[in-house]
Structure 1
Amino acid sequence: MATPTRPRQTHPCSRTNHEEAVLLHLCLSLGRGFICSGKGAGLTLSLVCSEPLRLVGGASRCAGTVEVKHRGEWRRVVKAYGFWDLGATAAVCRDLDCGSAVSGGERDDFPQSRVWEIHPYCVKKFTVRECVTDSSSSKALEVVCSDSVRLVSGSGLCSGSVQIWDQSWTWLCEEALDLQGAEVLCRELGCGAPSLLQGAVSPLGLQTFYCEGHESALMDCPRYSSRTCSSGAAVNLTCSEPLRLVGGASRCAGTVEVKHRGEWRRVVKAYGFWDLGATAAVCRDLDCGSAVSGGERDDFPQSRVWEIHPYCVKKFTVRECVTDSSSSKALEVVCSDLLNRPIISLSVLDGASEALPQGVRVKPGSKFRVKCSVEPQFPGGSFQLLSPTVNLTQNHTLPAVNHSAHFLFSDTGPAHKGNHLQVFDYAFSSQSHALQLHVGDENLNVESAN
């Protein structure tokens, strides 16, 4: 098992000309790092200056209290007025060349001293050092980024193509990850369980990571290979949001709670008007149905809560919009859905496949398998796979065995959507995320049924 380690600083090249020496001196005088590379018989200097930014006191170089070197002085960082959300945390992770943003917030237990103050809206557009001003405070910003894995080009912090750090950021190949590995990765990023895994789950034992599911980080899993992949062959992963409704009649009704910084707390609204649009955003992140009702109650004991701004959740996920607060209130939400959203994955048993930003491409004639599963909630039931083709829609139904079903296709055909579960005397349905299957050069788009 090989765990990639990231050098904190690269030594300067042993041979430089006068101009290169001047550049190195300039880079060092700015308090920044540098990278050197050789080429041919001679030596070519590639100079990359890193930001004078660091995290201290954490478990890794990608976690801890934020410090910036400015005007020749290292100081801890505090936020100015404004809302410090995961978008601002992601900007710090970006400048550190770390992975995805996991958590971020302020502490208030430091001695009063001179600090660098930054505005959250500024760091989303510029580097952290470009946003600092002189101040004094007993607070400090703490940030946790993933160290060696990240999701890129997704719709939010919990979805995208998987990259790992292996001396540089590289794409994780399709077939490199199974469902247990995806669970570990989602948990490492502070997200919920995986709900969509594309371009992965090899039945031939070719995956790079062999996780048992209890590991705290993907790089803690045994690793047996490392192939270089293009972005077109990368694993695409969607994790659910760490969000739940408690105390209601179903999983889609109740008091809103979010897990952030490793802690579940109930949620209250900040200033602003909580309308059905904000409620619909909560239902969206829960993979529930439409918004039915939402509002605040004021009969809880005073305690620490997560505060969210209604305007923020309409544009971003709930977890990206939380900040620390204290209140006796709580948000209650009712959505229309009743069942957990199923998890869907595809594995190609023979023939070549390619993970695309939208779906998976396989060669005509390939043999593949689609797995539908759902977290235990009701006994029995069945899964229905809907696969639209060019001229007709074919339905496939299998009984649920251990809350899952495997649909085997001996020849490449259409993609699928949805599932249907029959429980007791009532029929409830819940649909998975859409999985798109591209056969050859033909794209078969899949849409979820109402």
Structure 2
Amino acid sequence: GAPIVFTLYILSSTDSVRLVDGSSHCAGRVEVLHRGQWGSVCDDDWDMRDAAVVCRELGCGEAVDVLGNSHFGPGSGPIWMDDVDCSGSESTLKNCRSAGWGKHNCNQTKNAGVICSGKLQYIWVRLVGGPRCSGRVEVLHENTWATVCVEDFDQQDAEVVCRELGCGPSMEVLGAAAFGRGEGQVWTEELQCRGNESQINLCPKSSTLTHDCSHDNDVGLLCADMVRLANSSRPCTGRVEILHQGQWGTVCDDDWDMRDAAVVCRELGCGEAVDVMGKAHFGPGSGPIWMNKVACSGSESTLKNCGSSRRVIKHDCSHDSDVGLVCAGKNCVF
């Protein structure tokens, strides 16, 4: 007789988490579905381990950054989760510890947000010819990379580029082909970013340019990096500091090892890690202690992607335990 054919349908369960009001489905305000209603998550204790669970659950790669204070705008409806405490290995945010469904001391100005690496598959801008977070600005236009004229690029545009690339704030806009003359076309539009966009693709643009621009006027950009080595006269050596929520803070030396150091040295373009120093070898820092018990595998692209007890109010550290390191390289970022 004729063969019997079975058709197998694999149905996914209803999504229980989403990212809203960002540049893509891999960036935005965190919302969870509970009792048939979407609600937000409070940013108390929200950190990279919690974000990692969300990014993985959504198929959005690694967590790039966590953002509090309703960075992606205030939500509406219930605040479902507060004091979230994921180990980082959970398959879904709903499996993480928290204060309990609907239990919080929060309001909608403190919604948690996440940026996952998945959005980076839509590359709209890059920096070429410099160390990490610096270089000649190039934008993707009709499937080819084009340079940007310095006359068509201002500080608001720079802030958006730095943010889109996961760097710190814009430090300086440079003209006169500071990072070398580009090749190919010069972009024929002018960005008119407000400065708060998550990527330049969302910025208004004007195509009514009245000047001719050559590669001699290619614009370059210096963004602050998210990690730096401070308080040393030698490059690629010093106290480890990270930029989070607009403020530089230190890292506790608990569990800090060569794998953690290797990630920092690589992120800064400083070669291999040579040594790690604890007990504030490079002097005590100031400001927050952002990370404690850092646990990098060694393959992460940035320190912020490493697991840690990033609980500012819960660490048992002081600035007498600020960690430092020595990298093999001699030329750090600007």
Shorter-chain TM-score bucket reads: 0.5 to 0.7
| In 1: Cα distance, 2:69 partner to 2:293 partner | 17
Q: Which has the higher strand share?
A: 1
Alpha-carbon distance change, 186 to 70 in structure 1, aligned in 2, over 3 angstroms: same
Give the fraction of aligned pairs with identical amino acids, expressed as a percent: 23
Shift of 1:59: 12
**What amino acid sits opposite 1:162 in the alignment?**
I
**What amino acid sits opposite 1:334 in the alignment?**
V
- 2:325 match: 333
Q: Say whether residues 1:190 and 2:166 are aligned partners.
A: yes
CA RMSD of aligned residues (A): 5.1
Q: Say whether residues 1:143 and 2:113 are aligned partners.
A: yes
Alpha-carbon distance change, 85 to 301 in structure 1, aligned in 2, over 3 angstroms: same
| Aligned counterpart for 1:320 among listed residues 295, 305, 309 | 305
Alpha-carbon distance change, 288 to 106 in structure 1, aligned in 2, over 3 angstroms: same
Highest relative contact order (Cα 8 Å, sep 6+), 1 or 2?
2
Alignment of 1:13-28 (within 5 A): none
- 1:195-219 per-residue CA deviation (whole Å, 9 max, x = no partner) reads xxxxx955432x3764599945413
Q: State the SS of the aligned residue for 1:175.
A: strand
Shift of 1:177: 5.3
| In 2: Cα distance, 1:332 partner to 1:184 partner | 31
| In 2: Cα distance, 1:338 partner to 1:243 partner | 16
Alpha-carbon distance change, 54 to 184 in structure 1, aligned in 2, over 3 angstroms: closer
Alpha-carbon distance change, 213 to 201 in structure 1, aligned in 2, over 3 angstroms: farther
TM-score normalised by structure 2 residue count: 0.54
Q: Say whether residues 1:90 and 2:23 are aligned partners.
A: no
Alignment of 1:7-406 (within 5 A): 53=18, 63-64=28-29, 66-77=30-41, 84=49, 86-88=51-53, 90-91=55-56, 94=58, 101-104=64-67, 115=81, 119=86, 121=88, 125-126=91-92, 128=93, 134-135=100-101, 136-138=103-105, 142-145=112-115, 150-152=119-121, 162=123, 173-176=143-146, 178=148, 184-191=160-167, 201-205=182-186, 207=187, 210-211=190-191, 215-217=195-197, 218=200, 219-220=202-203, 222=205, 224=207, 241-269=225-253, 271-272=254-255, 274-298=256-280, 300=284, 303-312=287-296, 314-316=298-300, 317-321=302-306, 323-325=310-312, 327-328=318-319, 329-340=321-332, 375=334
| In 1: Cα distance, 2:290 partner to 2:51 partner | 13
Q: State the SS of the aligned residue for 2:163.
A: helix
Shift of 1:252: 0.7
| In 1: Cα distance, 2:65 partner to 2:224 partner | 14
Q: State the SS of the aligned residue for 2:145.
A: coil
TM-score normalised by structure 1 residue count: 0.42
Q: How many residue pairs get matched?
A: 249
Shift of 1:222: 2.5
Shift of 1:86: 4.8
Instruction: Find the structure with the greater CA-based Rg.
Output: 1
8 Å Cα contact 1:294/1:334 also seen in 2? yes
Gaps of 5+ in 1: 1-29, 31-48, 108-112, 153-160, 165-169, 194-199, 226-238, 342-374, 376-450
Shift of 1:302: 7.1
Gaps of 5+ in 2: 1-12, 71-78, 126-139, 171-180, 209-222
Q: State the SS of the aligned residue for 2:261.
A: helix
